[in-house]
Chains A and B, each alone.
Chain A
Amino acid sequence: MSVVGLLSKLGIIVQRTYFGKIVILSSAIIGSAFYKQGNQRASFNTFIGQTFFTGVEAIPHITLLALVVGAITILQAVTVMPKIGGGDALGGVMVAVVNRELGPLITALFIAGRTGSAMSTYIGNMRVMQEIDALKAMGINPLHYQIMPSFFATLLSLFGLTMIFNLVAIFGGYFIVWAMMFVIPGIFTAQLSISLFIEKIFVAMSLMDFFIGTLKPLIFGGLISVIACYHGMMVNSDIRDVPRATRATVVRSYVSIIIVDLILAIPIMLQLKDKIMI
């Protein structure tokens, strides 16, 4: 068999897999953003609505979550680090744990549960109630009107929410611990002045951290919305398909996010390989 034949056969096999279908849908969504069809104003309204739901309405939850996670991380760091002789590594721990890992991961898992499930339920119901058919019958491309704006809204929202999570977790967490030092004097052995804390954060932050911190929410946001839209669109006229689609969206989003997070940890590890000590 020729190389072209082999590649085309491989392509056919890949496109039948779940991964292949997600890749095809992602390409179609991104492609539809560059292909002018219909008035953009109609799609923009969907984008605004989805951004409000996914981004703005989730801010209070994300802020609370970030405060708690930030406080826990700093508490653990200031109690454990001095004991193992790493009192100066507080900034590095915060950057590594919150900015690289917990911020993007917790925000993505929260949004997968909140927005991913809502999105697949909504699209699934649109299928059952023939709203998708109604759009097609009016000559409105559902990919362009409903799915593409939801995709970009999730991307933007997740990026914004992750930035909020990181900031609140690092600084809000610091202030909670700082307040605890006043309530229970002498609770910590390590020094924790704000100027020192900020200095340590900036010293520990590398360009790669910034890059990964930006890239992760965008990838996770894309994953959540494509998986949600895929399962929503797979619903037929049977109402029992809707909860199945919701369940599949949440489970597959969680698994995909964690796997991708592991894959994205590899470049950081390679960059820091000289500094890793076991």
Chain B
Amino acid sequence: MSVVLSVKKLQFTYYGEKIFKNVNFSLSEGNLLFICGLSGHGKSTLLRLLIGLEKPDSGSIRIFNQDINQLPEDEFNRLKSRVGFVFQNSALLSTLTVENNLKLPLVYHNLASRDEIEEMIENTLEKLLLKEHRHKFPGELSLGLQKRTAMARAIITNPSMIFMDEPTTGLDSISRGVYLSLIENVRILNNVAMIMVTNDLLIAREMGGEIGILKDGILLEPMAYQQLKNSPDRFVQALLEEEKLRSA
């Protein structure tokens, strides 16, 4: 399996505080990686660095073997059409309908003809159970539907990799279950590599994949949930303890 993302010696300072001292990890095609940790430890910031919304102090981020901080802006923009990003608050364009939110990246990057775009939108809406909401504006949707629309927008370009920031925040248990199973379907059917930032280890346990814990500006070596349980690290054990309490 080829590596789609590799991060090496990443350092980042935010308002004078060293958020990342030395972050190293990689992600292969079709794999799932959870980034967990306490609030305010820079989980979302790491995703923002990966998509170029923030610039690192040093280190390299290579997506599909291209260093994103060395790429010219228009090349990086084209590369981003192969990467999906789902924001914690969905960040849908409020003046566009669900359909037009999905259409925008396809039209802007000239990824398909007009007929193909219609077909892609139709399929994606069907996949995420959004067909009856296609003409609604984001403000008219529930939180769960907004999250599904954001997911639909992220997958419409057939990306090879998707970054998701706290995907289940604010969802009730039923919507959460539906949403996670839709994500899992998309991931398996399209063989998409995914990075999911969460402070909910329960999701990581349910969905499988590897878990990387952010601690003191360093990402601990990603490992499966079962391995994590045997970790001698007291911080990891404290997180697991918290997860046990939450699930109980």
The interface bits of chain A over 116-146 (1 if a CB of B lies within 8 angstroms of the residue's CB, else 0) are 0000000001100111011111111100010
Asked whether, in the complex, the Cβ of A140 is within 8 Å of the Cβ of B77, the reply is yes
Q: In the complex, which of the residues A130, A135, A136, A141 contacts B52, with contact meaning CB atoms closer than 8 Å?
A: A136
Asked whether, in the complex, the Cβ of B80 is within 8 Å of the Cβ of A139, the reply is yes
B165's closest neighbor in chain A, by CB? A130
- Total CB contacts across the A-B interface at under 8 A: 69
Asked whether, in the complex, the Cβ of A139 is within 8 Å of the Cβ of B79, the reply is yes
Asked whether, in the complex, the Cβ of A129 is within 8 Å of the Cβ of B109, the reply is no
User: Cβ of B7 < 8 Å from any Cβ of A?
Assistant: no
Q: What residues on B are CB-neighbors of A136 within 8 Å?
A: 51-53
B163's closest neighbor in chain A, by CB? A137
Q: A37-B77, A38-B109 given as contacts; is B53 within 8 A of A137 (CB)?
A: yes
Task: Write the nearest CB–CB distance from A233 to chain B, whole angstroms.
Answer: 14
Q: What residues on B are CB-neighbors of A133 within 8 Å?
A: 48, 53, 87, 91
Asked whether, in the complex, the Cβ of A138 is within 8 Å of the Cβ of B107, the reply is no
Q: In the complex, which of the residues B78, B85, B108 contacts A137, with contact meaning CB atoms closer than 8 Å?
A: B85
Task: Write the nearest CB–CB distance from A275 to chain B, whole angstroms.
Answer: 51
The interface bits of chain A over 224-249 (1 if a CB of B lies within 8 angstroms of the residue's CB, else 0) are 00000000000000000000000000
Q: What residues on B are CB-neighbors of A49 within 8 Å?
A: 95
User: Cβ of A56 < 8 Å from any Cβ of B?
Assistant: no
The interface bits of chain A over 31-43 (1 if a CB of B lies within 8 angstroms of the residue's CB, else 0) are 0000001110110
Interface centre among B51, B52, B104 (most CB of A within 10 A): B104
B104's closest neighbor in chain A, by CB? A42
User: Cβ of B76 < 8 Å from any Cβ of A?
Assistant: yes
Asked whether, in the complex, the Cβ of A39 is within 8 Å of the Cβ of B110, the reply is yes
Asked whether, in the complex, the Cβ of A139 is within 8 Å of the Cβ of B94, the reply is no
B111's closest neighbor in chain A, by CB? A39
Q: What residues on A are CB-neighbors of B168 within 8 Å?
A: none
Q: In the complex, which of the residues B48, B85, B94, B95 contacts A138, with contact meaning CB atoms closer than 8 Å?
A: B85
Asked whether, in the complex, the Cβ of A137 is within 8 Å of the Cβ of B80, the reply is yes
Asked whether, in the complex, the Cβ of A134 is within 8 Å of the Cβ of B108, the reply is no
User: Cβ of B161 < 8 Å from any Cβ of A?
Assistant: no
A132's closest neighbor in chain B, by CB? B91
Chain A, interface residues (CB within 8 Å), range: 20 to 34
Q: What residues on B are CB-neighbors of A41 within 8 Å?
A: 107
User: Cβ of B105 < 8 Å from any Cβ of A?
Assistant: yes
In the bound assembly, the distance between CA atoms of A131 and B146 in angstroms comes to 13
Q: What residues on B are CB-neighbors of A139 within 8 Å?
A: 76-81, 105, 108-109
Q: In the complex, which of the residues A125, A126, A145 contacts B108, with contact meaning CB atoms closer than 8 Å?
A: A145
A122's closest neighbor in chain B, by CB? B95
In the bound assembly, the distance between CA atoms of A140 and B105 in angstroms comes to 7
List CB contacts (< 8 Å) of B140-159 with chain A.
Answer: 153
Asked whether, in the complex, the Cβ of B109 is within 8 Å of the Cβ of A130, the reply is no
Q: What residues on A are CB-neighbors of B237 within 8 Å?
A: none
User: Cβ of B74 < 8 Å from any Cβ of A?
Assistant: yes
Asked whether, in the complex, the Cβ of A129 is within 8 Å of the Cβ of B108, the reply is no
Asked whether, in the complex, the Cβ of A129 is within 8 Å of the Cβ of B85, the reply is no
User: Cβ of B65 < 8 Å from any Cβ of A?
Assistant: no
List CB contacts (< 8 Å) of B108-159 with chain A.
Answer: 108-110, 153
User: Cβ of B92 < 8 Å from any Cβ of A?
Assistant: yes
Q: In the complex, which of the residues A39, A135, A137 contacts B109, with contact meaning CB atoms closer than 8 Å?
A: A39
Asked whether, in the complex, the Cβ of B87 is within 8 Å of the Cβ of A39, the reply is no
In the bound assembly, the distance between CA atoms of A56 and B51 in angstroms comes to 39
User: Cβ of B93 < 8 Å from any Cβ of A?
Assistant: yes
Asked whether, in the complex, the Cβ of B91 is within 8 Å of the Cβ of A138, the reply is no
In the bound assembly, the distance between CA atoms of A37 and B75 in angstroms comes to 10
List CB contacts (< 8 Å) of B30-79 with chain A.
Answer: 48, 51-53, 73-74, 76-79
User: Cβ of B89 < 8 Å from any Cβ of A?
Assistant: yes
Q: A139-B77, A139-B78 given as contacts; is B109 within 8 A of A134 (CB)?
A: no
Asked whether, in the complex, the Cβ of A141 is within 8 Å of the Cβ of B77, the reply is yes
In the bound assembly, the distance between CA atoms of A137 and B93 in angstroms comes to 13
Q: What residues on A are CB-neighbors of B87 within 8 Å?
A: 130, 133-134, 137
The interface bits of chain B over 5-17 (1 if a CB of A lies within 8 angstroms of the residue's CB, else 0) are 0000000000000
* Nearest 9 A/B pairs, CB to CB: A139-B80, A139-B77, A134-B91, A137-B85, A130-B91, A38-B108, A42-B108, A138-B105, A137-B51
A38-B110, A134-B92, A140-B108 are known; give 15 further A-B pairs, CB within 8 A.
Answer: A37-B74, A37-B77, A39-B110, A42-B107, A129-B91, A130-B89, A131-B91, A133-B48, A134-B91, A137-B85, A138-B85, A139-B76, A139-B108, A140-B77, A141-B77
B: which residues have CB within 8 A of A? 48, 51-53, 73-74, 76-81, 85, 87, 89, 91-95, 104-105, 107-110, 153
* A-B residue pairs in contact (CB < 8 Å), sample of 23: A37-B77, A38-B77, A42-B107, A42-B108, A125-B94, A130-B87, A130-B89, A131-B92, A131-B93, A133-B91, A134-B92, A134-B93, A135-B93, A136-B51, A137-B51, A137-B80, A138-B80, A138-B108, A139-B79, A139-B80, A139-B81, A139-B108, A141-B77
